[in-house]
Amino acid sequence: MYLLKILQNMTNDIISLGLADWISDREPNYPSFDECKAWVQFKSQEFEYVMTKKDEDDIRMLLKYIPMSQIMNKNLISRYLNEIIEK
């Protein structure tokens, strides 16, 4: 839920490009900050887009919280898998 709130507050351009999904899909070898910036620049070639300081902060936040969220979800599923299957 917290990650959803973070994503809602981010720049629409970064979200509309699919950066969060791209980071998630790279698990377990998450991209670096520089790789994320290069990916955003590559994806935004079709329109004039200038990366802002806020965009850079949003990328850092995604790189911090997406891996943490995925680890937490895996731990919860592994802990409660039997209960989930039995329902």
DSSP string, 39-79: HHHHHTTTS-----HHHHHHHHHHHHHHHHHHHHHHHHHHH
Question: For 43-62, what is each residue's pLDDT tens digit?
Answer: 888 777 788 898 899 999 99
| Per-residue pLDDT tens digits for 20-32 | 999 999 998 999 9
- The answer to pTM > 0.75 is no
Count of structural domains within the chain: 1
Distance CA 68, CA 4 (A): 13
> Domain residues for 61?
2-86
